[in-house]
């Protein structure tokens, strides 16, 4: 056995609930090194995410959010004025103006990027749209340092923590969704950050950390009100786990089913905690106080969400979603059985197909439970609530998109357990296969325009409401192999324009479908007029096809800059790791 591997096993085998903190407190220099490694991982992942980004707004949802950002900056109101998407992506509100039914954060957090574009290139708007398209890349990359610090809290060595952070960043669906103008990667960032700060709150006995953790979860409510359902589960890590409970978690294998036994122990812990808090001051009462502070901070997010509703629609409880569904004539809720099976086992949307590494998290969740039972309880309950809720809505697949994007929030959570699946030789072999498959699938996701799949099948805008079993008959993942292979053939001779807009040289605006005078059955023929469906998806590649005057940015300068960011991140991470080894 190699020395490094033996050291890893030794360190992990001597873990106690406080070992993560103790192992890293040997010297202030080690702490500093870990901070530099975390920052380096952020830059490295960010650089790769930006390099593989489409560099344009890839979906009408993103275009609506961009328009809100733009008008908020320029006109002082979060309205939708876009003449192309406004008629079918907005709702009439206060003063007869039109507003998006999306929450505020995705537009607010993009303001610095859009403002930078306007400051440097106004009145040209395409640089701002290019920068807007990178918003989720920033948040997706910011998940990497949180995961790294989380792994250290669990007692992993620096080397393993770095490796598993990169696995989560590049072998799961987190990569392609971070390259989209959908905001699901942003949801994942705030969820994993709330979980991490909650754990730090419990280990440091800090009410302040509990409030900040709750604020992170409160931001989720500003995105979508249904995230309020997850708040009680995300708050669980703020509860301290006593030594007695740690002994229960590491007791001999139960005679009953392991899942039932674990659920029973968690229920007993919860009731014991409440009973002890009721009896008088102590750690149990402090835990309950932190839990209450977490939920109070979430409540602030809820109040802000309601106030934003009032700003747009003149009512605290009107967010436009129900009215939009009624206007577009589709049901909000659908077949829960079809939704549940679609998300978990369908060939077209199963989260396990789009992120096979998730299976490692499931294999390792019980071993993680011995180290951080409150975190495992939070992951399990959050997953259960989210999957059951999303299963009940008619658009459970989140279309039009690649993969089950509404479950993105769960990917970094389950990635926390992935390292603990490696306990025997066959599991190591399984891990290598699943990680390799994950890298391949994410590479396919980044290769081709996602909407090509839907236009080639002539589906209607709300096909998911017409046929809830669609993804048991069609698979974007299976189709992507052929789509990616077709890139070697180049664009068809029939293509006349880059994209499907009335203004042909407008390259960063979202793709629009066939006009109303073109039957949807002719979408595959219509699509062959446009290069965007047959060019590689990353911006450095499709921009090389355009005349220099039609490029929204200078690709050469951006390539140099982004590569520099990635290399700087790699260098900082490596330097911090080497100095950490020397200090040990």
**pLDDT for the residue numbered 123:** 85
Give the pLDDT score at 117. Answer: 94
- CA terminus-to-terminus distance, the chain: 21
Q: What is residue 500's DSSP assignment?
A: S
Contact 472, 504 (CB under 8 A): no
Which long-range contacts (C-beta less than 8 Å, at least 24 apart) are formed by 92-97? 93/312, 93/313, 93/314, 93/320, 94/311, 94/312, 94/313, 94/314
Q: What is the Cα–Cα distance from 310 to 319, expressed in whole angstroms?
A: 8
pLDDT value of position 275: 60
pLDDT of residue 22: 42
The token pair at 301 is 């997010």
| Nearest alpha-carbon partner for 156 in 9, 1, 279, 327 | 9
What are the residue ranges spanned by the domains of the chain?
A: 171-548
Of 102, 104, 68, 60, nearest in space to 84 by CA? 60
Q: How far is CA 430 from CA 8, 134, 422, in A?
A: 20, 34, 9
Reported as a single tens digit per residue, the pLDDT across 486-501 is 999 989 999 999 998 8
**For residue 7, pLDDT beyond 50:** no
pLDDT at 329 over 90: no
Question: 144 — phi, psi (to 5°)?
Answer: -60, -50
Span 44-66, mean pLDDT?
96
- Which sign, positive or negative, has the C-alpha torsion 72, 76, 81, 87? positive
Residue 79 main-chain phi, psi, to 5 deg:
-100, 170
Measured between alpha carbons, how far is residue 145 from residues 150, 151, 236 in Å? Answer: 8, 10, 21
> Distance between alpha carbon 320 and the CA centroid of its chain, in Å?
24
Q: Is 410 exposed, middle or buried (0-12, 13-18, 19+ CB in 10 A)?
A: buried
Name the pLDDT band for 276 (thresholds 50, 70, 90). low
Please state the rounded mean pLDDT for residues 357-371.
92
- DSSP per-residue string spanning 188-200: HHHHHHHHHHHHH
Using the predicted structure, report yes or no on whether residue 252 has a pLDDT greater than 60: no
Tens digits of residue pLDDT in 186-230: 999 999 999 999 999 999 999 999 999 999 999 999 999 999 999
**What whole-number distance in Å separates Cα of residue 111 and Cα of residue 192?**
23
Q: How confident is the model at residue 268 (pLDDT cuts 50, 70, 90)?
A: low
For the chain, percent of residues with pLDDT exceeding 90: 74
| Cβ contact 243:283 at 8 Å | no
- Per DSSP, 471 falls in state G
Map residue 490 onto helix, strand or coil. coil
**Structure confidence at residue 256 as a pLDDT band (50, 70, 90):** low
pLDDT of amino acid 15: 43
């Amino acid at each position: 056995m190699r020395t490094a591997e033996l050291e890893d096993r030794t360190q992990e085998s001597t873990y106690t609930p406080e070992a993560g903190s103790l192992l890293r407190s040997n010297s202030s220099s080690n702490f500093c090194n870990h901070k530099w490694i975390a920052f380096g991982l952020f830059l490295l992942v960010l650089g790769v995410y930006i390099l593989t980004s489409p560099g344009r707004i890839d979906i009408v949802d993103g275009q609506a959010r961009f328009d809100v950002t733009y008008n908020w900056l320029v006109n002082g109101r979060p309205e939708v004025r876009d003449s192309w998407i406004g008629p079918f992506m907005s709702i009439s509100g206060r003063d007869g103006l039109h507003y998006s039914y999306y929450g505020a954060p995705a537009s607010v957090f993009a303001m610095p990027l859009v403002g930078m574009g306007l400051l440097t290139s106004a009145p040209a708007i395409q640089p701002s749209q290019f920068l807007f398209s990178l918003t989720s890349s920033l948040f997706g990359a910011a998940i990497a340092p949180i995961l790294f610090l989380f792994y250290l809290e669990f007692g992993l060595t620096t080397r393993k923590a770095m490796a598993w952070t990169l696995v989560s960043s590049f072998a799961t669906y987190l990569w392609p969704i971070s390259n989209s103008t959908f905001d699901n990667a942003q949801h994942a960032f705030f969820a994993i950050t709330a979980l991490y700060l909650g754990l730090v709150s419990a280990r440091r006995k800090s009410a302040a950390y509990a409030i900040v953790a709750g604020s992170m979860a409160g931001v989720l409510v500003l995105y979508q009100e249904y995230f309020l359902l997850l708040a009680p589960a995300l708050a669980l890590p703020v509860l301290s786990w006593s030594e007695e409970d740690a002994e229960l978690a590491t007791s001999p294998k139960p005679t009953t089913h392991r899942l039932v036994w674990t659920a029973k122990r968690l229920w007993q812990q919860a009731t014991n905690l409440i009973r002890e808090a009721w009896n008088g001051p102590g750690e149990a009462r402090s835990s309950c106080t932190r839990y209450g502070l977490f939920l109070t901070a979430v409540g602030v997010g809820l109040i802000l969400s309601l106030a934003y509703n009032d700003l747009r629609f003149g009512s605290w409880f009107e967010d436009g979603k129900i009215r939009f569904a009624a206007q577009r004539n589709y049901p909000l809720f659908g077949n829960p059985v079809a939704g549940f099976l679609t998300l978990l086992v369908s060939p077209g949307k199963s989260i396990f197909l789009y992120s096979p590494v998730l299976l490692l998290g499931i294999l390792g969740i019980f071993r993680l439970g011995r180290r951080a039972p409150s975190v495992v309880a939070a992951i399990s309950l959050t997953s259960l609530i989210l999957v059951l809720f999303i299963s009940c809505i008619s658009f459970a697949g989140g279309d039009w998109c690649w993969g089950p994007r509404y479950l993105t929030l769960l990917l970094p959570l389950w990635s926390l357990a992935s390292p603990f699946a490696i306990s025997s030789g066959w599991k190591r072999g399984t891990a290598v296969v699943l990680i390799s498959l994950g890298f391949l699938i994410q590479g396919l996701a980044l290769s081709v325009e996602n909407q090509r799949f839907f236009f080639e099948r002539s589906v209607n805008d709300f096909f998911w409401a017409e046929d809830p079993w669609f993804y048991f008959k069609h698979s974007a993942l299976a189709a992507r192999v052929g789509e990616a292979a077709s890139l070697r053939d180049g664009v068809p001779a029939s293509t006349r324009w880059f994209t499907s807009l009335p203004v042909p040289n407008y390259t960063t605006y979202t793709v629009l479908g066939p006009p109303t005078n073109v039957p949807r059955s002719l979408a595959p023929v219509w699509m062959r007029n446009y290069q965007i469906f047959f060019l590689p998806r990353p911006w450095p590649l499709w921009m090389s096809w355009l005349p220099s005057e039609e490029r929204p940015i200078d690709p050469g300068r951006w390539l140099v800059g982004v590569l520099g960011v990635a290399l700087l991140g790699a260098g900082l991470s490596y330097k911090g790791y080497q100095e950490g080894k020397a200090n040990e």
